[in-house]
Structure 1
Amino acid sequence: EVQKLMQGSELTLFEKVTQHELLKHKQTMAGLLIHKAAQIVGADIEAAITPLNTVNFENRAHQEQLKGVMEILGVRELTGKDPDQGVWARVQDAMAAMTGIIGGAVTRTKDEMNITEILTMDHRKVDTLFMEIEKTDDPQKLQEFFGQLYKDLSVHAEAEEQIVYPAVRSYYSDTQELYDEQAQMKQMLAQIKALNPSSSDFKAQIKQLQTAVQDHVKEEENDMLPQIRRNLSEAQMEQMATQFKAAKSTMQQEMANLS
C-alpha cells in the first residue's frame, strides 16, 4: 500500500507521508490489540507472540518518525521555512530507536533467521513463561503455563541435541557440559510434571528449574553462540536454523500425537 501511495502523483509529499502514518497507525493498533487479547486468551499465545512485541516496538518507533517528518514537511509547505530544531531531534530519536537493538531483528532485509537468532528467540519465550508463572498463584494458570514451558523446553532441548550440539562439538570444547545440563533439566521437568500445581512445593521447584535454565542459557548465549558466529558463514547458520526448525516441528507433532 505504501509503495502504491508513494508512486502516485496526485498527492503532495506531505499528504503521502500523512497517509503513510495512518497506515502505520492501523498496523500498530492491530499488533497492540493482538498483544492485549493474548494476555487474556492463554499462556501459549502470549508467549508465542513475544516476537510480535519487537514488531510493535518497531512500528511505534516508525510512527513517531513519520509524525516528525509530517511536521517538518507541513511547516515547509505552510511557511517555506525549516521548522524548529526540536522536531528534527525527535525524528533522530525515533530513527535511533528503530535501528537499535530492539528493532534490529525486524528491520533486517533478509527473510530467514539464522540459528543464533532462533535459539535466542526460544530463550526469550521461556523467560516469558517463567515470568508468567511467577506472577500467578492460580492453579489452573500454573498448570497451563507449566504445560507450555514443559513442551517448549523439551522440544528445544531435543532439537539442540539432534542438530546444534553435534555440529558445534568440533570447535566448542564445553559441549558435553551442555548435554549434561539438559539431562538434569529434563529430570527436573519430569519431577515438576508429577506435582499438583496447588502444592506448596510446585513454585519452589519451578524456581530451581528457572535458575538451572538461566545458567544454561547464559552459557549458550555468552560462549556457544559467539563460537557459532565465528566458525560458520551466514548461509551455514541459516541452514542449521532450517534443520533445527524441522527437528522441532517433528517433535512437536510427536508430542501432540501422544497427548
Structure 2
Amino acid sequence: MSSHLSSAITQEQWERVVQLCQGSPKEAKKWTTRHGLFEGIKDANVLPIHEALVAGAPYPIIEALVNAYPDCVFCKESSYQRLPLHCACRKNALPDVVDLLLRKYADGALTPDSLGRLPLHYALSNGANPNIINCILRHRPNSARGFDKRGWTPLHVACGVGADISVIKSIIDCYPEAVLMRTNKGSTAKQCLSLTNAANKSDVKQMLQDIYTEVEKNYRPAQEIKSERVLC
C-alpha cells in the first residue's frame, strides 16, 4: 500500500512532501512497491527518496527526505540494487542534489548496481552536466576505475556518448590507464568514438591517441609488479 508521502511524491505535491517529512519523518522510512518504476517493466520496492529522484524532485525535496531519514542514502531499491545516488545520476539530477548525496555517502560513488554500473556510468550515459561529473570525481576519483558487467569503464561510456572533451580529460586525469582498457567485446575507448557523431570527435580521438602512446610506454600490469615483489 502506498504511504501518504509516496502518494504526494507521485503527484508531485512538493509542499505536501516537505510538510510530511517535517511532521511525520517516519514516513520517509516506509518502503513501497512501485510497478514499472524502471523502464516500465520491473517492479521495485523503494523508499520515498528513490521515488522522488526518479520523479526529478527539486533540491529542497531531496534535502527534506534526507533530513527525515538520514540512512536513506545507504538504501538500495530491489530491482537493480540502485542507491539514491544511482537514481539521481540516471535522471540527470541537478549538481546540488548529487553533491548532497555524495556528502552524505561518498562511497556510494564506488557502489555498483546489479548491472555493475556505478553512478558515474549513468551520469555519463545520460549526458550529465560536466559539473556533476567533476563533483563525483572530486569526491571519489577512483570511480573512474569502475567497469560494468560488459567491461565498460566510464571512459568507454564518455567516448560512446560523445561527452565534452573536458569531461573525458577529467576521467583520464583520474585514471590514465583507462585508454588501454578494453570492453568484454574488445573495444578501446577510442574505438567507442565510432558510436557518436559529436563535433569534437577528431579532437578527442587525437587526445586519446597521444595519451595511449604515452601510457602504453609506462604501463605495467599489476600481476607483473606483484611477481617482482614476490621474487624480491
- More helix as a share of residues: 1
Structure number with greater Rg is 1
TM-score by length of 2: 0.28
Instruction: State the TM-score, normalized to the length of structure 1.
Output: 0.26
| Higher relative strand content | 2
